[in-house]
């Protein structure tokens, strides 16, 4: 323990410091037959020794200044926590007792009041000491390197303040970094202490929420364990994750790095937590193959003018730590290595008057003053608090509700705590304002990239920043181009469990594995996934599109309708045109023979309307062809319905005329006209309210869009065709009754037969229509129209045309008369 006072005349206050100057405690021999002694420490740490010296430097600096604590001198007591909880606790108790023994006897012994403890280094050490100090309301401030998020609880650690940002920000920053580069498959390694465990826990929680999967989670052993290290190396080698996040202090990590170097585990990108990102313990010669390209977070860096001079000015006879440092340093000069702890240096090898100036080691390296700067700030925070305490104006103080002040020569620790919580000052030589927000300081990190410079050494290049107090989207700024990656392509590595889905496949879950790992299954779905869109899922093509064979692009579906130009279309047009022409030809024959008995006998007007309606139905069938349009959808259905209605009512009318009495005829005619009007009205209403219209039918077939006419309203279309059916039945019945009145042409029989044909065609149409798809439905419809029209045309007009054209001699009054009468006569 170092201790000292500078100026004897002034008032004195002692600041405690606790640093892990050694890396571990020496293992005990386990002998219980002797009086136990506090275990010694081993593994001198040059970096933390620099922190210790920084505390002394800051205290000296403050003592020399006239603006802070002009009438008071700061003293110090420094303990070595040896990076071990038990030593830290021991040191705390010793400090509180003010004696050299670890007896918690509060403030007995030394006359000068104890101010605050700066320490104890790692979070788990600080947690242990904070619990003891908290009991006495003793401020533990400026914990320069205890960053663990668990320490933020003011309930558990009421007197704990720190000058390093809370690790929850660092975990968030790491998570953002991982998400920024699209890594979804990462491994984690944590130190077996609160720092590592809480840090990785916070990190995991955040990335997992964002869909990242953890490939492996390993814990570094606290006490040397080669088997554990071997196992971790094995995991790292076998894992497919190329990104490994390490939350650990350099001391705990270095054995693993040595092994990784031995196994030459390259092609990984390491994400470093702040504790090892600028550590010379890790950044040994030739780690570049393994650790080049590492990305990590460093806390605020600053230059501390005068510190280097102070470090060089070390007097080896000052205190035991300085002496040990000196011996090791000089031994290293001789042996050229520090990896073997050198003990028992031959007498006379070093004199204590050697110069440190030529040395180039961690202790003297002031290029990355980050934690060092944090120590510096911590001492200043205590000094400022003491200053404010001393300069409290009588009667304006904060205490006991009576505006009392504290006395610098005998204040209570909780009184200092009050001032510490409220310090707000500018750190010398920087532009940083320091204040505690609920015990924490602002989170500000540099993103550091390990780049190999021309000498083959690693240099720390700042490639971005993270500001924890900014709005979430502006927190991280990172210059991708300035990052040097540790791979041949010099591109950000990819770290995914399964590559994104391959063309023609979709994600298939692997039982019991993380969601980021999946199989590719081929799919019949119209979906697309290509490397280009990095889709993890196969993206479904939208309604009018269908995926191509390779499933890497969506193609427009084939549009289908029965076109005029295609063979089937042409055939149907030719047939219907032929039918229409044939009907017209029959009409012409009738006109030519207008005065003859045959034409007269059959009521020429009804014949012409029959012929006309057949022309209409023939032509209607053509309208069904081609790409459906608004007008064509309307015309085709309505034209067909009206055409058939006219045709069937003409037929029915003809036999009614023959059969029914004139009076009744008039009545029936009225009824007929009425129904006919209703039919026309229904058609009109239909066309106005719910007209048939063209639609794209995408559901009927996967790869096609069928353009078709939608009826608009099923009820209307049923009504309209129901009327046709009614007429057809009536016509059939009348013709059937009339067939007994045989004339020589057996006309009624022919009509009956024609009607039968008509029924058969339309009855068989129904199943045929329902069982076809797409454009063939239209073809079936046209076919039915043509067949029924031809049926009627041939059955009714063929025998007559035969007589008119070929056997005109039979065209006599005689022949037209019904046979029964003929034989009677």
Closest of 756, 748, 773, 777 to residue 765, by C-alpha = 777
252, 275 contact by CB (below 8 A): no
Does 283 sit near ligand TCR (CB under 6 A)? no
Subset of residues 184 to 243 that bind ligand TCR, contact rule: CB under 6 A: 195
Backbone angles phi, psi at 182, to 5 degrees: 70, 25
Contact code string over 378-417 relative to ligand TCR, x by CB under 6 A: ----------------------------------------
Closer residue to ligand TCR, CB minimum distance, 79 or 185:
79
**Minimum CB separation from ligand TCR for residue 528, in Å?**
48
Closer residue to ligand TCR, CB minimum distance, 218 or 743:
218
134, 154 contact by CB (below 8 A): no
**Minimum CB separation from ligand TCR for residue 506, in Å?**
45
CB neighbours of residue 330 within 10 Å: 20
**Minimum CB separation from ligand TCR for residue 278, in Å?**
9
The C-alpha atoms of residue 675 and residue 727 are separated, in whole angstroms, by 11
Does 171 sit near ligand TCR (CB under 6 A)? no
Helix axes 123-135, 194-209, angle to 10 degrees: 110
Joined tokens for residue 227:
């088997």
Subset of residues 605 to 624 that bind ligand TCR, contact rule: CB under 6 A: none
For every residue of 129-165, DSSP letters joined together read: HHHHHHHTT--EEEESS---GGGG-TTT-TTEEESS-
**Minimum CB separation from ligand TCR for residue 306, in Å?**
23
Closer residue to ligand TCR, CB minimum distance, 123 or 159:
123
**Minimum CB separation from ligand TCR for residue 373, in Å?**
12
Contact code string over 630-669 relative to ligand TCR, x by CB under 6 A: ----------------------------------------
Q: Which long-range contacts (CB under 8 A, 24 or more apart) does 785-790 make?
A: 785/617, 785/618, 785/620, 785/621, 785/624, 785/640, 786/572, 786/575, 786/576, 786/579, 786/618, 786/621, 787/757, 787/761, 788/617, 788/757, 788/758, 788/761, 788/762, 789/579, 789/614, 789/617, 789/618, 790/579
Closer residue to ligand TCR, CB minimum distance, 72 or 126:
126
**Minimum CB separation from ligand TCR for residue 95, in Å?**
20
Joined tokens for residue 43:
């593994």
The C-alpha atoms of residue 124 and residue 151 are separated, in whole angstroms, by 9
The C-alpha atoms of residue 626 and residue 566 are separated, in whole angstroms, by 10
**Minimum CB separation from ligand TCR for residue 120, in Å?**
10
Helix axes 747-770, 630-659, angle to 10 degrees: 150
Strands 518-522 and 505-509: antiparallel
96, 110 contact by CB (below 8 A): no
The size of the interface with ligand TCR (CB under 6 A), counted in residues, is: 12
Closer residue to ligand TCR, CB minimum distance, 138 or 195:
195
Reduced to 3 states (helix: H, G, I; strand: E, B; else coil), residue 227 is helix
**Minimum CB separation from ligand TCR for residue 314, in Å?**
20
- Cβ-Cβ contacts under 8 Å for 389 (sequence gap 6 or more): 405, 406, 408, 411, 415, 416, 419
Q: Which helix (H) or strand (E) holds 761?
A: helix 747-770
Backbone angles phi, psi at 554, to 5 degrees: -95, 130
The C-alpha atoms of residue 136 and residue 412 are separated, in whole angstroms, by 10
Closer residue to ligand TCR, CB minimum distance, 274 or 708:
274
Closer residue to ligand TCR, CB minimum distance, 195 or 783:
195
The C-alpha atoms of residue 762 and residue 786 are separated, in whole angstroms, by 11
The C-alpha atoms of residue 576 and residue 397 are separated, in whole angstroms, by 111
Closer residue to ligand TCR, CB minimum distance, 145 or 486:
145
**Minimum CB separation from ligand TCR for residue 383, in Å?**
23
Contact code string over 138-157 relative to ligand TCR, x by CB under 6 A: -------xxxx---------
Strands 505-509 and 433-435: unpaired
Does 249 sit near ligand TCR (CB under 6 A)? yes
**Minimum CB separation from ligand TCR for residue 411, in Å?**
29
Closer residue to ligand TCR, CB minimum distance, 276 or 655:
276
Closer residue to ligand TCR, CB minimum distance, 284 or 794:
284
Closer residue to ligand TCR, CB minimum distance, 247 or 723:
247
Subset of residues 527 to 556 that bind ligand TCR, contact rule: CB under 6 A: none
Closer residue to ligand TCR, CB minimum distance, 149 or 449:
149
Closer residue to ligand TCR, CB minimum distance, 188 or 621:
188
CA angle (69 as vertex; 64, 72 as ends), nearest 5 = 85
**Minimum CB separation from ligand TCR for residue 123, in Å?**
3
- Of 202, 274, 319, 365, the one binding ligand TCR by CB under 6 A: 274
**Minimum CB separation from ligand TCR for residue 194, in Å?**
7
- Of 61, 73, 90, 250, the one binding ligand TCR by CB under 6 A: 250
**Minimum CB separation from ligand TCR for residue 539, in Å?**
44
- Of 371, 483, 598, 647, the one binding ligand TCR by CB under 6 A: 371
Closer residue to ligand TCR, CB minimum distance, 279 or 530:
279
Closer residue to ligand TCR, CB minimum distance, 167 or 390:
167
Contact code string over 84-123 relative to ligand TCR, x by CB under 6 A: --------------------------------------xx
Closer residue to ligand TCR, CB minimum distance, 297 or 590:
297
The C-alpha atoms of residue 623 and residue 635 are separated, in whole angstroms, by 7
**Minimum CB separation from ligand TCR for residue 391, in Å?**
33
Q: Which long-range contacts (CB under 8 A, 24 or more apart) does 576-579 make?
A: 576/618, 576/619, 576/621, 576/622, 576/782, 576/786, 577/618, 577/622, 579/614, 579/618, 579/786, 579/789, 579/790, 579/793
Cross-strand pairs, 140: 117, 160
The C-alpha atoms of residue 74 and residue 10 are separated, in whole angstroms, by 10
Closest of 538, 540, 530, 618 to residue 574, by C-alpha = 618
**Minimum CB separation from ligand TCR for residue 203, in Å?**
14
Q: Which bin fits 309, alpha (ψ -120 to 50), beta or left (φ > 0)?
A: alpha
Closest of 100, 130, 97, 134 to residue 114, by C-alpha = 97
E strands, 501-577, where? 505-509, 518-522, 527-528, 539-540, 545-547, 554-556, 558-560
The C-alpha atoms of residue 123 and residue 166 are separated, in whole angstroms, by 11
**Minimum CB separation from ligand TCR for residue 483, in Å?**
23
Closer residue to ligand TCR, CB minimum distance, 450 or 762:
450
Strands 518-522 and 269-272: unpaired
Joined tokens for residue 304:
């501390």
**Minimum CB separation from ligand TCR for residue 249, in Å?**
4
The C-alpha atoms of residue 629 and residue 623 are separated, in whole angstroms, by 10
Closer residue to ligand TCR, CB minimum distance, 241 or 371:
371
**Minimum CB separation from ligand TCR for residue 507, in Å?**
40
Binding site for ligand TCR (CB under 6 A): 122-123, 145-148, 195, 249-250, 274-275, 371
């Amino acid at each position: 323990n170092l201790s000292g006072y500078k100026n004897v005349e002034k008032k004195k206050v002692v600041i405690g410091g606790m640093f892990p100057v050694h890396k571990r405690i020496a293992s005990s021999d386990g002998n219980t037959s002797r009086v136990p002694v506090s275990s010694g420490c081993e593994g001198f740490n040059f970096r933390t020794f620099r922190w210790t010296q920084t505390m002394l430097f800051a205290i000296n600096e403050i003592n020399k200044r006239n603006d802070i604590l002009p009438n008071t001198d700061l003293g110090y007591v420094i303990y070595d926590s040896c990076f071990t909880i038990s030593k830290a606790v021991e040191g705390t108790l010793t400090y509180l007792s003010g004696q050299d023994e670890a007896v918690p006897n509060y403030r007995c012994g030394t006359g000068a009041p104890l101010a605050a403890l700066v320490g104890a280094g790692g979070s788990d050490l600080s947690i242990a000491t904070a619990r003891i100090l908290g009991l006495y309301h003793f401020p533990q401030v400026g914990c320069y390197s205890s960053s663990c998020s668990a320490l933020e609880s003011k309930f558990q650690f009421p007197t704990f303040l720190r000058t390093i940002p809370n690790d929850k920000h660092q975990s968030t920053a790491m998570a953002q970094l991982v998400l920024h580069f699209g890594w979804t498959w990462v491994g984690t390694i944590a130190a077996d202490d609160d720092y590592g465990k809480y840090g990785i826990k916070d990190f995991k929680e955040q990335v997992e929420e964002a869909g990242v999967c953890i490939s492996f989670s390993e814990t570094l052993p606290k006490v040397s364990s080669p088997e554990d290290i071997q196992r971790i190396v094995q995991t790292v080698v076998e894992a497919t994750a190329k990104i490994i996040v390490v939350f650990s202090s350099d001391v705990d990590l270095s054995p693993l790095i040595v092994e990784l170097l031995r196994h030459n585990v390259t092609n990984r990108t390491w994400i470093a937590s702040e504790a090892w990102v600028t550590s010379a313990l890790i950044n040994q010669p030739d780690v570049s193959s393994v650790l080049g390209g590492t990305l990590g977070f460093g806390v605020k860096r600053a230059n501390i003018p005068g510190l280097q001079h102070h470090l060089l000015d070390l007097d080896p006879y000052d205190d035991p730590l300085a002496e040990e440092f000196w011996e090791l340093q000089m031994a290293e000069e001789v042996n050229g290595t520090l990896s073997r702890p050198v003990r028992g240096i031959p007498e006379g090898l070093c004199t204590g008057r050697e110069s440190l100036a030529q040395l180039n080691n961690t202790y003297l390296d002031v290029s990355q003053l980050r934690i060092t700067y944090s120590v510096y700030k911590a001492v200043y925070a205590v000094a400022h608090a003491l200053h404010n305490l001393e300069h409290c104006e009588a009667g304006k103080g904060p205490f006991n509700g009576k505006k009392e002040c504290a006395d610098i020569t005998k204040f209570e620790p909780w009184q200092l705590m009050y001032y510490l919580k409220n310090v707000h000052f500018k750190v010398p030589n920087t532009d940083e304002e320091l204040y505690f927000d609920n015990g924490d300081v602002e989170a500000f990190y540099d993103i550091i990239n390990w780049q190999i410079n021309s000498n083959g050494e690693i240099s720390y290049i700042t490639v971005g920043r993270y500001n924890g107090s900014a709005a979430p989207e502006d927190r991280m700024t990172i210059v991708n181009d300035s990052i040097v990656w540790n791979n041949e392509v010099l591109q950000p590595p990819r770290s995914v469990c399964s590559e994104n889905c391959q063309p023609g496949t979709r994600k298939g879950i692997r039982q019991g594995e993380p969601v980021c790992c999946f199989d590719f299954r081929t799919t019949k779905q119209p979906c697309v996934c290509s490397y280009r869109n990095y889709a993890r899922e196969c993206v479904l093509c939208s309604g009018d599109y269908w995926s191509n064979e390779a499933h890497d692009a969506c193609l427009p579906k084939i549009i289908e309708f029965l076109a005029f130009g295609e063979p089937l279309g042409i055939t149907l047009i030719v047939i219907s045109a032929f039918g229409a022409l044939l009907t017209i030809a029959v009409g012409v024959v009738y006109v030519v023979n207008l005065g003859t008995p045959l034409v007269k006998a059959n009521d020429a007007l009804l014949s012409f309307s029959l012929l006309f309606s057949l022309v209409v139905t023939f032509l209607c069938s053509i309208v069904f062809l081609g790409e459906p349009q608004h007008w064509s959808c309307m015309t085709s259905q309505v034209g067909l319905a009206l055409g058939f209605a006219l045709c069937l009512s003409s037929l029915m009318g003809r036999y009614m005329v023959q059969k029914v009495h004139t009076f009744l005829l008039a009545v029936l005619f009225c009824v007929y006209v009425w129904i006919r009007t209703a039919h026309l009205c229904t058609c009109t209403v239909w066309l106005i309210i719910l007209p048939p219209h063209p639609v794209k039918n995408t559901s009927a077939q996967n790869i096609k869009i069928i353009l078709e006419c939608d009826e608009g309203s099923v009820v209307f279309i049923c009504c309209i065709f129901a009327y046709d059916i009614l007429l057809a039945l009536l016509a059939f019945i009348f013709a059937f009754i009339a067939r007994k009145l045989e004339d020589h042409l057996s006309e009624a029989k022919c009509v009956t037969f024609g009607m039968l044909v008509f029924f058969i065609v339309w009855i068989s149409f129904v199943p045929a229509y329902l069982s076809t798809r797409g454009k063939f439905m239209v073809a079936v419809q046209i076919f039915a129209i043509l067949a029924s029209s031809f049926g009627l045309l041939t059955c009714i007009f063929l025998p007559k045309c035969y007589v008119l054209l070929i056997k005109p001699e039979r065209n006599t009054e005689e022949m037209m008369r019904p046979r029964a009468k003929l034989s009677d006569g």
